[in-house]
Amino acid sequence: MRNKTKYTLATTVIASSVLLSGCGLFGGEKTMEEIDPPQNESYTNDLETVEQEGTEEGASETNEEVATETIPRELYLIDANGFVVSQTVNLPKTESVAKQAVEYLIEGGPVSEMLPSGFRAVIPQDTEVSVNMDGHTVVVDFSKEFTNYQAEDEQKILQAITYTLTQFESIQDVEISVNGNKLEEMPVNGTPITDKLSRADGINIDNSDVTDITSTKPITVYFIAENDGNEYYVPVTKRIKTSEQDNVVNVINELIKGPGLAANLYNDIHGDVELLGSTYADGKVTLDFNEAIFGSFNDKMISTHVLNTIVLSLTEQEGVESVAITVEGEKGIVNEAGTSVSEPVTRPEKVNTGSF
């Protein structure tokens, strides 16, 4: 990423070329040689490097020698609307991948020259970081500068750190400490911190429709934001009644309802869209919609935004690896690139990629 970077969804389509299997989220067929393990949003060497990080002392000199090699990583930053959003950036290859990822979240740090327009880093300037692995938990210790943040950023900081670190396959959850003292609540506004932070805690949480949170469960869906001509996808965690058992149906219903009170987000799925049926087998969800899913298209075509928000949202669900779409039982539905979406469509390894 770089200052005043201009990237459109068309650029994102081209850039998201590394896909998991089958028909890629942004179109294009992949050969068997290009297939990666499904739902693994990290590279295969991440598992080894994160587990080997330890205290990570003395790694900097080795890292400088290989700094010319880069690898794409997801950094969760704060956008102009205050949402925590992933942006994919090419970082120098290193053996200390978890520590590096956190360091690139620090204001005034190495990410400064790579930020797209409207985005900012989440961790206070001059904060120092150390990282240790404890099984599948990463323990992140910050210096006292970590406490120098605005109260309104408190939950966003937790979410950005957690989601950035759990992109790596070997990291399931996160513990945070300051000067070696584990935090039970955030220091500025007192946000409670669970024993271990994970993606189950949610991101960009919207509880506007909830009256009794104890009878609900979280579900994360993706909407669209735009800033300075740039469009990108934003995850939002909503809460639905625990009695609603079918999460595939729940996801589609929330997408049809739209972002609600989440200002500055939108959705291309028309309010007249109906899910007529869904099936699940071997990691693949097949959805059958009415013709309203075509929106303004008349040629059995689904828009890029509609397809992407559906696939991104559904592949957040455990066990869902791909999505296929039919309309009133008919196959042969295509995306804007003319590629069939009646065949399995999978999530890209990285979301919101551009020309960084």
Q: Are 314 and 347 in contact (CB under 8 A)?
A: no
Strands 84-92 and 70-78 turn out to be antiparallel
Q: What is the average pLDDT value for the chain, to the nearest integer? A: 83
Top pLDDT among 42 and 89 is at: 89
Angle between the N-to-C axes of helices 304-314 and 247-257, in degrees from 0 to 180, rounded to the nearest 10: 140
The residues, any chain, with a CB within 8 Å of residue 51's CB and separated by 6 or more, are 133, 170
**Residues 84-105 as b or e (16 or more Cβ within 10 Å = b):** bbbbbbebebbbbbbbbbbbbb
Residue 56 has pLDDT above 80, yes or no: no
Residue 235 structure tokens: 């995850």
Q: In this predicted structure, what is the pLDDT of residue 15?
A: 37
Q: What pLDDT is recorded for position 21? A: 37
Model confidence at 44: pLDDT above 50: no
Count CB atoms within 10 A of the CB of residue 324.
Answer: 20
Give the β-pairing of 275-281 and 137-142: unpaired
More confident residue, 117 or 30: 117
Would you kindly state where each structural domain of the chain is located, as residue ranges? 40-201, 213-346
3-state DSSP percent of the chain in helix, strand and coil, to 5: 25, 30, 50
State pTM to two decimals: 0.81
Instruction: Name every residue whose Cβ is closer than 8 Å to that of residue 349 and which is 6 or more positions away in sequence.
Output: 16, 18, 19, 20, 36, 40, 41, 42, 43, 72
Q: Per-residue DSSP letters for 126-180?
A: T--EEEEEETTEEEEEE-GGGG-S-GGGHHHHHHHHHHHHTTSTT--EEEEEETT
Amino acid identity, residue 221? V
pLDDT (mean) for 265-275: 93
User: pLDDT tens across 143-195, in order?
Assistant: 999 999 999 999 999 999 999 999 999 999 999 999 999 999 999 999 999 88
Q: Which amino acid is at 11?
A: T
CB 116 within 8 A of CB 230: yes
User: Where does the pLDDT of residue 296 fall: very low under 50, low under 70, confident under 90, or very high at 90 and above?
Assistant: confident
Higher pLDDT pick, 24 / 229: 229
Taking 60 as the threshold, does the pLDDT of residue 29 lie above it? no
Residue-level pLDDT at 33:
33
**Residue 333 to residue 123: CA distance in whole angstroms:** 44
Which residue did the predictor score with more confidence, 298 or 118? 118
Q: How far apart are CA 261 and CA 265, in angstroms?
A: 9
| Confidence at 354, pLDDT banded by 50, 70, 90 | low
Q: Is residue 320 helix, strand or coil?
A: coil
Query: Looking at residue 185, what is its pLDDT?
Result: 96
> Rounded distance, CA 356 to CA 119, Å?
14
Residue 197: burial class (beta carbons within 10 Å; 0-12, 13-18, 19+): buried
